[in-house]
Copies of this chain bind each other. A is one copy, B any other.
Amino acid sequence: MENNNLENKNDDMCEVFNSHDDVVDRVKERIPDESEFAELSEFFKIFGNPTRLKIISLLSIEDLCVCDICDALDLNQTTVSNQLRILRANNIVKYQKEGKMARYSLTDLHIEMIYKVGLEHILE
């Protein structure tokens, strides 16, 4: 079917090599589905903000309470709290209450890996 040289696609691009249909069919089978790309892009969006990256960076060194994060980054409490909420909602940080304090930490090693590989990439 794919080498039928009169069989056309909807659009009119790239008919130069008819092997392309094979390539396209082959790679289409091997990628995740729509909903996984949606979820994954939401996940990576979280890393796309300097404030959140700073928080991730701090927590990759040690667990901290909200006020220490504010202090270390010189950011106001609303900003930090809002970003922590987003980080929490996306399963990137977790926390435990200790009296009136909330001690935050990274959810798992994936987070640290992604952060570090990214940093390596831009520094090379």
A interface list, Cβ under 8 A from B: 9, 11, 13-14, 16, 20, 23-24, 27-28, 30-32, 34, 36-50, 52-54, 57-58, 61-62, 64-68, 70-72, 76-77, 91, 99, 101, 108, 110-111, 113-114, 117-123
Contact = CB atoms under 8 A, between A and B. Distances in A.
Given A9-B71, A27-B58, A41-B49, 14 more contacts: A11-B71, A13-B71, A14-B68, A14-B101, A20-B67, A34-B50, A40-B50, A43-B118, A44-B44, A45-B45, A46-B48, A91-B121, A110-B118, A114-B114
Contact of A118 (B40, B52, B76): B40
B39 A122 contact: yes
